[in-house]
Every structure is written in C-alpha cells, then in structure tokens.
Amino acid sequence: MKRRELLRNGLAAGIAALTLGGCGFHLRGNEQNHRLPALTLTGDTTSPFAREFRASVEFSDVELRADAPWVVTLGTPRLLERRLGADDRASNEHELSLEVEIALQARDTGAYHLHPSLLRETTRLRLSDDDLLNRETLISDAVDELSQRLARRALERLANIESWR
C-alpha cells in the first residue's frame, strides 16, 4: 500500500513540475542571468566588494564600458563589528556587517533611477581574543563572504529596476 502511495505522489509531483516548467513559472530570485543593459562603474571601484560586483556583472553577461548609457556608482564599503555577549569570556560571538551605497543614473539625463541606497549583509562568528592570528583570518574570510553576498544583492537590486524593462 505504501509503495503505491509513494508512486502516486511521485507521479503527481513530476506532472506538477512539468506543468509549471512548461508554462514559464520560475521561482522569484532564482534567475542567474540578469538582463541588464551596458553599465559604467564609478566611485570606489577598487574595494573587494567592487571586485566581486564587477565579477558578478561580467558573469551575468552584462557589458561594462566607459560610454554605457547607465552609470552605477559604488560607495566605499564599511565594515561594522559588534561584540555580542559578555566581555569576560575569552571566546565571544561577534556580528560583522558590511554595508555599501549604490546608485544608478541615466547618463543622458543625469536622472537617478536608483537613488543612493544602502545595502547591508551581516554574519555572526565566534572569535577568540587569545588567538589573534586566527582571528584576523576568520574576519578576512567573513569579509570576503560578505562582499560576495553584497555584490549578488546589489546586482539583484539593479535587475529589479523598472526603468529599463
């Protein structure tokens, strides 16, 4: 009896997946290839966040060129560290946040289509005050991860702008 139910449920799930896939249904935010026009990057273009953002844009097959009709301005990322828990323990949980402002302007009119917006990604990690070398490595790895997540989030934010649809 259970085998028959399992087979029936599996068949129903397969039919549902084929039906939804055939009608063009996609989960929101699951699209890798963002359809953006050519962009120019200005602002702080040398930070780890900017390098990750550039890589995300290029991976999405978006053309980056100096004379593009759309200008993305990247702010300087800020790392915020907050210690959580009691101060008397050798190992404490910390909250790291990386935040950056981005803006989007049309080159020909100078009009903002995305006013300078603050984006933030946050993570928590346990750090020991007794192991300074490992502490710096953990923070550096966390900043790299936050830069990657923030770059993807910035690209998604740009992809959702109604002006170029």
120-160 pLDDT, tens digit per residue, is 999 998 877 666 678 788 888 999 999 999 999 999 999 98
- At 31 the pLDDT is 46
Q: Are residues 23 and 58 in the same domain?
A: no
Q: Rounded to an integer, what distance in angstroms lies between the CA atom of residue 39 and that of residue 42?
A: 10
Dihedral sign for Cα atoms in the order 73, 56, 53, 26: positive
Q: Are residues 5 and 83 in the same domain?
A: no
Query: What radius of gyration do the chain's Cα atoms show?
Result: 22
Q: Are residues 16 and 84 in the same domain?
A: no
Quote the number of domains for the chain. Answer: 2
- Domain range enclosing 7: 1-30
Find the helix or strand (DSSP H, E) in which 85 lies.
none
Find the helix or strand (DSSP H, E) in which 41 lies.
strand 39-43
